[in-house]
Structure 1
């Protein structure tokens, strides 16, 4: 059933009036003439598993949540933290207590004030095991006092170290000082949610007509597997400075179809199909972009005790990793500025420098020769037991082409056969999380611009640790890094352990390559996390 919210005559007139003004107006800061059509339409690969900020676990869901909800802090076009609902923030001398002063003019879309209690409720809800949030671990990662016990169900949520001093003052108590804590509260898991609405509608609170949000936009329409539409929130505290009226996400599972629809003018933004960046750069030089993006692409190897015995042999895993020709992947297949990866944390992460691991300094011929030796030592390959592995990935042309290419590399170098299994996004996430795979496509995008956002992924208790890798030495290094004056050496040691134990096969560091209609301005090309806010976008008039 298609659910739509109904716009009254007054709202429709207001929108028409705003459009008329935009047609004649100029941008208040740049002076550029604004187009009458202030809409932004972009492509997403899959249907959003959820648009509840407390339950969301994927990048596209975060983009939607960022338009409809506003947390304590936002990011500027360079990725620096700036005020959101909070206008001031400070830490105690020991770094264990953070105080946020909230703006009194902040409102929910139903007109209710946004208060500190809304954040308290949201954080407790995300940590509560009864909520079953796949990102409850993030509250624990933030080192909020008692978070571990609350997430484990050993303490009630009201014991979480967050409280409302008054309506405009939020106090957070940490168990350990984290200098990058302000960056962490730009993440969607920390966004406020409306308690009375959730209690009234339950899991239907995110439906059009039910959903109440505090960001620059509100949900006006959602057609599963087709589109999600957001329109301006008239009660948003900074609505007067918002220009784009409507934001639409179209679900298009095929990159080539996305390109066709972009060329037809149906989309303002779409991803560049795999391998087509060079051609499209010549054809659309003013519209194509390739920018650093703090995401790492890798294959997760199932190392649970009941996994395939061959995959539990580190020599087999290392052989598989070495036999992947990353230069061919980034230069001949992807061809959009991606960087070969032999470690987990993205090389462009602030203040981070990946360690030199042995594989990175080898030639591919040397890697292949060593891979063959390792497989033979393990009793497999030529003259040994034959191997066949399944590569699981979520439905996408690029993921499929990479899986085919990597399967061919393994067969040519190691004699390993592969089968491919593609699944719809939500099914894929569930299957990978449940451990029903041998080798699975994976990617991780930084929740905040610091190396721990990547490296914490492989700690034993992290629920997003899909390989189910366990190493007490690794865990201890990551725990020590929390309070280290300079955590970089500890991060590099942790990366060296991952390179030695090979629970994942790093493949490449992302760039974000996409086509953007040149009339759309304000996109944050310098934000390495690619966190964009539609309220900062605008469309200029044609000359």
Structure 2
């Protein structure tokens, strides 16, 4: 993502478009009387707290209740949020953000630079126990590693309010993509007084105070989330959709049925049904590249099974899974087979050549897998027995069944374990698994959003893959003139050590009501905002 920059005095000033960034309704369009938008969620949202949420679906909700420094437009370009623009020092290590003076919390209080300072310190503070604390470290915010480790007070974090409308951030290493990282929910401001007054209940409907275009009016865990337009948002006059409703439906096929019955405006298309639906509903079925990768994470830590401590076994498992069958026969929605971690559509990324992907066909991979298992001491008299857990979804189940059958061909016995989302993620965080279905959706459009996850200091390295060489490569990438070379080396290490089994790279495969306009069409992150949407008349 390239942003226009101009040189002014001794600082680099970033100018962003200052026009209203809410719904842009073309002249001549007739709006529907009913300005509502109802979308599908597979799982219950674990937390409405920006500093605690870890889920993509949670992010979709929080992006409407809160607003960070910047937002994204339909092409993935940065546009003003609370920040109008920023300046960068000549050494690239000090960012000064100029905040708008009309941003308000839903209780009418002004949003200030101090609210961002409080939120960022809260994120890094070990007392918060956020899985995303490491994001402050990834952003290279000064003193973040020491604070996260409990060696410094959160007040030492390199962020300060110069005044109510000026936020200064100091980072330890220049990062060209630093502004892109600021659209992530963990960096959103929160109101200290509300949290201190209400404790863990501050995110309840009717209590939560946000600064987004909508306010939370109902949250029935695992059933529905309802958000209503608020007149305190700085651009409320240009927000068209009055009500956003998210319905949690664990059965993806039931979700499609309810979409076709008119209960939903958007739903994921179940595996294998895109070709049919695209023919029957060409104005509603959509498939576009999506910045997410689907993998099986392997528990290679102390609590993991003995077999997975051997890289030969891990590689055998990866080689034996036929991705073409999964993508072409099961999914059929424009997804691509994955032989690496980073999504193919990430800006400025090129996958390095790796032997198992580029020099072998599937038959050769299976033969190599059998050889590797034999070398590791496994065979008919000593089979590898593993469990594969996945969260509730008919699609995940289909893929898991297919993978287990493929692995059986090389003598690996797989037991399938299905858990609801919260239990699934809790087990992963506690290393209570052998193999587990996992997907990562990039927090920004740059390869480090994937590759940093596999470092030893990552808050999401649930398989406990700790590799000094890998850590060093990713550390070197932060100061490399051409980080692509480091990223490719990191991918080669993953291919050699195989702590994860890449399965496929996502596409966004949806049914979308033809009367809904304003959703992003060219944003690989699929970052959407209710304030940009509108419903046209039938």
Smaller-chain TM-score bracket: over 0.9
Q: Distance in 1 between matches of 2:178 and 2:129?
A: 24
2:517 to 507, 521, 528: 521
For residues 481 and 445 of structure 2, the distance between their equivalents in structure 1, rounded to whole angstroms, comes to: 17
Q: Which runs of 5+ in 1 are unaligned?
A: 1-25
Q: Identify which of 116, 124, 128 aligns with 1:127.
A: 124
- Note the alpha carbon deviations across 1:146-177, whole angstroms, 9 max, x for none: 00111111111111000000000000001111
How many residues in Structure 1 have an aligned counterpart in Structure 2? 515
Q: CA contact under 8 A between 2:66 and 2:189: conserved in structure 1?
A: yes
Q: Secondary structure at the match of 2:480?
A: coil
Instruction: Name which of 451, 454, 458 aligns with 2:450.
Output: 454
1:368 and 2:366 correspond = yes
Tell me the residue number matched to 1:483: 479
- State the match for 1:291 in structure 2: 288
Q: Say if 2:66 and 2:188, in contact at 8 Å, map to a contact too.
A: yes
Would you say 1:176 and 2:149 are equivalent positions? no
Q: Distance in 1 between matches of 2:25 and 2:183?
A: 26
Which residue of the partner structure matches residue 16 of structure 1? Answer: none
Alignment of 1:21-170 (within 5 A): 28-170=25-167
Q: Distance in 2 between matches of 1:525 and 1:376?
A: 48
Whether the 8 Å CA contact 2:24–2:532 is kept in 1: the answer is no
User: Is 1:429 aligned to residue 425 of structure 2?
Assistant: yes
Deviation per CA, 1:491-536, whole angstroms, max 9, x where unpaired?
0011000000010000100001010000000110211011101100
1:285: how far off? 1.0
Shift, 1:377, TM fit: 1.1
Report Cα offsets for 1:185-230 as digits up to 9, x if no partner.
Answer: 1110000001111111011001111111100000011111210000
> CA RMSD for the aligned pairs?
1.0
Output the CA distance in 2 between the equivalents of 1:75 and 1:46.
Answer: 25
Q: Which of 396, 401, 406 matches 2:398?
A: 401
- Tell me how far apart the structure 2 counterparts of residues 202 and 280 of structure 1 sit (CA, whole Å): 47
Other structure's SS at 2:504 match: strand
Offset of residue 30 of structure 1:
4.1
Mapping 1:92-491, distance limit 5 Å: 92-361=89-358, 362-382=360-380, 384-412=381-409, 414-491=410-487
Question: What SS does the corresponding residue of 1:330 show, helix, strand or coil?
Answer: helix
Secondary structure of the structure 2 residue equivalent to 1:393: strand
CA distance in 2, matches of 1:377, 1:213: 57
TM-score, normalization by structure 2: 0.95
Work out the CA distance in 1 between the residues paired with 2:327 and 2:412: 22
Q: Assess if the C-alpha contact under 8 Å between 1:273 and 1:398 holds in 2.
A: yes
Q: Structure 1 stretch 154-163 or stretch 304-313: which is displaced more? A: 304-313
Q: TM-score, normalised by structure 1?
A: 0.94
Answer yes or no: is the 8 Å Cα contact 1:27–1:33 preserved in 2.
no
How far off is 1:284 after superposition?
A: 1.1
Distance 1:282 1:138, change over 3 A: same
2:531 matched residue in structure 1: 535
Distance 1:394 1:122 in 2: 31
Deviations 1:121-165 (A, max 9, x none): 000011111011111110111110000111111111111000000
**Distance (Å, rounded) in 1 between the aligned partners of 2:264 and 2:148:** 41
Counterpart of 1:47 in 2: which secondary structure?
coil
- Given that 2:303 and 2:432 are in contact with CA atoms closer than 8 Å, whether structure 1 keeps it comes out as no
Cα distance in 2, alignment partners of residues 209 and 297 from structure 1: 36
Q: Deviation per CA, 1:356-405: give whole Å up to 9, x if none.
A: 111112110111111111111111124x4112110011111111111100
Shift of 1:422: 1.0
Q: Distance in 1 between matches of 2:204 and 2:457?
A: 33
Deviations along 1:98-132, one digit per CA (max 9) or x if unpaired, are 00000000011111000000000000011111011
Q: Aligned-pair distance for 1:28?
A: 4.4
Structure 1 segments of 4 or more deviating over 4 A? none
**2:25–2:534 Cα contact (<8 Å) kept:** no
Measured in 1, the distance between the counterparts of 2:32 and 2:165 equals 38
Conserved 8 A contact 1:379-1:385: yes
1:27–1:34 Cα contact (<8 Å) kept: no
Q: 2 CA distance for matches of 1:291 and 1:137?
A: 30
Paired with 2:447 and 2:122, the residues of 1 have a C-alpha distance of 27
Structure 2: how far apart are the matches of 1:46 and 1:510? 18
Q: In structure 2, the residue corresponding to 1:130 is in which secondary structure?
A: helix
Report the counterpart of residue 504 of structure 2 in structure 1.
508
